[in-house]
Structure 1
Amino acid sequence: MNKSILLTALLSTVATATQAEETSVTLYGVADGGYGITSQSIKVDGEKVWSNRTIGARSGVQAGNRWGLKGSHDLGNGTAAIFQLESGFDLNDGTSLQGGRLFGRRAVVGLTSNSWGTVTIGRQYSVADDFIAKLDPFGISYSQASFTRTFADSVGVRRDNVIKYLSPSFSGFSFGVSLIADDTQNYTSTTNDVKTRNAAVGVGFGYKNGPIMLGAAYDYERNKQTVNGMTNPRYNKSMSSWVLGGTYDFEVVKLHLIYGQQHNGVISGNFGLAGTLLKETPHFAAYNFNSQRVRTQSWLLGLSSKITASDRVMFSYQGGRIKHSSLVVPSNAMDVGAVRVNSHIWSLAYVHSLSKRTLFYGIASYGQFKAKFGANNTQRAKMKSTEVGVGLTHRF
């Protein structure tokens, strides 16, 4: 009997050890800090109406500061259960980012297989991020140099309630699909009956073979809200965006090209850095820009080169155009005519790798944004934005 008890204990210990070997959990993160200068100013018809200048310590320029947990558990037959929980923070004061969410950067659980792909559920990037972000020499990093400053959230945005599928590579080809279906209703006998629907679908495609890498993504989003059965006009939009691009590695230098458009509204209401001009110019304060008559175009030309095994440089020019064919003031439904905003950003960065986990960087970026508005587009608004800084990034 004692032998049976001993054997049972040994088998239990072996089973526990085997399970522990099949399950892995990793603590990881990024710490990025530096020093820099940011200067922005807006003039309307030659008169300064707004300015902002910051000199001092910077946080999360080359990469957003974060810490996270990710893990996998082998389920057999080449399939594994996976999870990832990621939180963002400000290195300078230790506060959390993403609206104070505990895991605002990412919170997902799913299944993955080398043969059929990966399915994840939770808060995560849209599918465009998986196929487009890697085409920019700066990715979604380096603050003003990132192409999100003109393409905004059309190239990848964190969303709640996302179900996403990413395929494995088939001879260099891959694809992905993301879906959001969020219907809510809030009713009490003493308040309004509010129904809100947010529905979105995204598809992405990629191809990689030798020096060529291509990517494309399309997103469609439908937002609608009714209050006591009446549609809220400020929350009733059907918008779409598409982005495509590619890179070609000439070995000495890599070429980056990206182009995209958004129609009848912009994803998440984000106009990129041009949104600062629209927000801080008093003449635009009453306007509802993110409506059915808006259209954006964005483009990027970039170059990157690995000078040595430890040193590389990156350059990009990105441009954008926002057109609103008939801008309306919501308070009185008055049509104030068309508005056009043109954006131009030039950026240059140098990166030196001190080790596989630690790098030093320097970044310089200059942006110019011009708007035409008013009767017959006779008024002008102009914003200049300059950013210069150096920093250190360590990944753990």
Structure 2
Amino acid sequence: MKKSATATILAVGVCSGAAHAQSSVTLYGIVDAGILFNNNVKGSREYAMSQGTSSRFGLKGVEDIGGGMKAIFTLESGFTTATGTLGQGGLIFGRKAFVGVTSATWGTLTAGRQYSVSNDFTSQFASGADWAASGLSYGTHASDVDNVDTSNRIQNSIKYVSPNFGGFQFGGVYSLGGQAGDLTKNEVIDAAVSYSNGPINFGAGYTFVKDPYYATYGNQGNSSTSPTGTNNNMNNKIYGGYASASSQQIFVVGGSYALGLATIGLEYSNTQFGNLGSVAAGGAISAPKYKGGNATFNSGEVNLKYQLTPALQLGGAYIYTHNSGADGFSGAHYNQFNLGATYSVSKRTLFYAMSFYETSSGTDSTGNAAVADLSSSAYSATSRQVGAVIGMTHRF
């Protein structure tokens, strides 16, 4: 009996060890802190603690469930290093929260709050989502109107990403609006493709959002199901005046080519806010009472990264955005220049210095003279704005 009991205990222990070896949970994150200078915030200079890359921590897990399939999950929370407060409107896992299955043969299927596949496949070609203070979006296309820098995650979403077929991948996302009696209200449809082969990389994506003010722009837990009335989900002058749109469509295409120590990136996006005046956007920025029509943004970017030494990387970018205007109002033009450098002292720690300059002209979404409005910063009192941030990033 004693031998039998001992054998049983050992067998259980071996099975437990084998199960443990086939599953894992990883804690990871980024802690970033920097000093920001802005020459014109509503007419005044600003010196403040800031971040070049959004600080975050997360848990990701994987378990082998047999047949070549693995169960996976990710929970990721954003926070501000200077104050310790949660990001994304105070959501505990506002950056990512999803669970699903993955297979080398069939691809990956997940459900929860997550990034669009358009962002997965195209963001790396834009300086603002790559090296130019990506976490706080200072270097993005005008107020990240095309969501290249993931200002908006997709809630209530089901996402599929294919396996890699010789460098080619495709994927799609569908977000359920959750409205009784209206299947399509607040829905999001997203699809994208990518190709990578040696020095050549390419990606393209299309996103359709119904009732964008509630479907994607809010970080409140109920922002996709009901108006909040007081929260301002589109708080910028560049496109905030179009919060009453019934739809938003985004097309993004980009690519890069590595030539020795240099990498050249190109990206173009077309963003359209459709049928203005059809949605009651509670708390939206003051704007004309649009009575229809569409507003279209076209953005183009060219950027260059150069690995001067194994530790030191330099970068520069030029971005042009044109707002066509809507409902009888003329549009606006925005020009932005990004310059930056990163210096890695180890695999996990780097120091950075970034600068941003934006000019504007014409009439913005609020029906007023367009002013410079760097992403993640309050708008300027004039048509020009300069920002700079220096700091350090540690990854774990």
- TM above 0.5, one fold? yes
Check if 1:182 corresponds to 2:177.
Answer: yes
Looking at structure 2, the residues matched to 109 and 290 of structure 1 have their Cα atoms a distance apart, in angstroms, of: 42
Equivalent runs, 1:7-22 vs 2, <5 Å: 7-22=7-22
Report the CA distance between 1:149 and its aligned residue: 3.5
Report the CA distance between 1:35 and its aligned residue: 1.4
Alignment-derived partner of residue 48 in structure 2: 56
Select the residue among 344, 357, 360 that pairs with 2:351: 360
Tell which deviates more after alignment, 147-156 or 345-354. 147-156
Equivalent runs, 1:314-333 vs 2, <5 Å: 314-326=315-327
Q: Which string of whole-angstrom CA distances, capped at 9 and with x for unpartnered residues, describes residues 3-35 of structure 1?
A: 222111111111111111111001111000011
Q: Which string of whole-angstrom CA distances, capped at 9 and with x for unpartnered residues, describes residues 315-367 of structure 1?
A: 111111112231xxxxxxxxxx2231111110100110000000000111111
Q: Is the 8 A contact 1:88 1:98 kept in 2?
A: yes
Greater strand fraction, Structure 1 or Structure 2 = 1
Report the CA distance between 1:388 and its aligned residue: 1.2
Alignment-derived partner of residue 152 in structure 1: 145
Q: Is the 8 A contact 2:139 2:356 kept in 1?
A: no
Q: Which amino acid in structure 2 is aligned with residue 368 of structure 1?
A: T
Count of aligned pairs? 346
Q: Is the 8 A contact 1:150 1:319 kept in 2?
A: no
Equivalent runs, 1:65-104 vs 2, <5 Å: 65-104=55-94
Alignment-derived partner of residue 251 in structure 2: 242
Query: Closer, same or farther in 2 for the Cα pair 1:31/1:384, shift >3 Å?
Result: same
Q: Which string of whole-angstrom CA distances, capped at 9 and with x for unpartnered residues, describes residues 237-270 of structure 1?
A: 133110101111111321111001012349xxxx
Q: Which string of whole-angstrom CA distances, capped at 9 and with x for unpartnered residues, describes residues 72-114 of structure 1?
A: 0011232110000000111001111111111111001011111
Equivalent runs, 1:196-275 vs 2, <5 Å: 197-223=185-211, 237-265=246-274
Q: Which amino acid in structure 2 is aligned with residue 72 of structure 1?
A: V
Check if 1:161 corresponds to 2:156.
Answer: yes
| Secondary structure of 2:260's aligned partner | coil
Query: Closer, same or farther in 2 for the Cα pair 1:113/1:8, shift >3 Å?
Result: same
Select the residue among 329, 337, 340 that pairs with 1:338: 329
Check if 1:349 corresponds to 2:340.
Answer: yes
Query: Closer, same or farther in 2 for the Cα pair 1:174/1:379, shift >3 Å?
Result: closer
| Secondary structure of 1:84's aligned partner | strand
Looking at structure 2, the residues matched to 114 and 380 of structure 1 have their Cα atoms a distance apart, in angstroms, of: 49
Select the residue among 102, 110, 114 that pairs with 1:120: 110
Report the CA distance between 1:145 and its aligned residue: 4.5
Q: Is the 8 A contact 1:237 1:292 kept in 2?
A: no
Query: Closer, same or farther in 2 for the Cα pair 1:310/1:15, shift >3 Å?
Result: same
Q: Is the 8 A contact 1:265 1:290 kept in 2?
A: no
Query: Closer, same or farther in 2 for the Cα pair 1:20/1:256, shift >3 Å?
Result: same
Q: Is the 8 A contact 2:293 2:326 kept in 1?
A: no
Q: Is the 8 A contact 1:121 1:161 kept in 2?
A: yes
Equivalent runs, 1:290-309 vs 2, <5 Å: 292-309=293-310
Q: Which amino acid in structure 1 is aligned with residue 329 of structure 2?
A: A
Query: Closer, same or farther in 2 for the Cα pair 1:292/1:107, shift >3 Å?
Result: farther
Q: Which amino acid in structure 1 is aligned with residue 335 of structure 2?
A: H
Q: Which string of whole-angstrom CA distances, capped at 9 and with x for unpartnered residues, describes residues 108-133 of structure 1?
A: 10111112211111001111111111
Looking at structure 2, the residues matched to 161 and 182 of structure 1 have their Cα atoms a distance apart, in angstroms, of: 7
Q: Is the 8 A contact 1:145 1:345 kept in 2?
A: no
Looking at structure 2, the residues matched to 122 and 201 of structure 1 have their Cα atoms a distance apart, in angstroms, of: 14
Q: What TM-score, normalized to structure 1?
A: 0.80
- Give the share of equivalent positions with the same residue, in percent: 32
Check if 1:137 corresponds to 2:101.
Answer: no
Q: Which string of whole-angstrom CA distances, capped at 9 and with x for unpartnered residues, describes residues 108-164 of structure 1?
A: 101111122111110011111111111123425514543244542442431211111
Looking at structure 1, the residues matched to 26 and 108 of structure 2 have their Cα atoms a distance apart, in angstroms, of: 19
Equivalent runs, 1:376-391 vs 2, <5 Å: 382-391=382-391
Query: Closer, same or farther in 2 for the Cα pair 1:148/1:325, shift >3 Å?
Result: closer
Looking at structure 1, the residues matched to 183 and 104 of structure 2 have their Cα atoms a distance apart, in angstroms, of: 41
| Secondary structure of 2:211's aligned partner | strand
| Secondary structure of 2:145's aligned partner | helix
Tell which deviates more after alignment, 101-110 or 251-260. 251-260
Q: Which amino acid in structure 1 is aligned with residue 268 of structure 2?
A: Y
- Which ranges in structure 1 are unaligned for 5 or more consecutive residues? 42-49, 187-193, 228-232, 267-277, 280-284, 327-336
Query: Closer, same or farther in 2 for the Cα pair 1:358/1:7, shift >3 Å?
Result: same
Q: Is the 8 A contact 2:146 2:271 kept in 1?
A: no
Q: Which string of whole-angstrom CA distances, capped at 9 and with x for unpartnered residues, describes residues 46-69 of structure 1?
A: xxxx424320322x31x2100110
Looking at structure 2, the residues matched to 359 and 289 of structure 1 have their Cα atoms a distance apart, in angstroms, of: 47
Give the CA RMSD over aligned residues: 2.9
Tell which deviates more after alignment, 153-162 or 251-260. 153-162
Q: Which amino acid in structure 2 is aligned with residue 53 of structure 1?
A: R
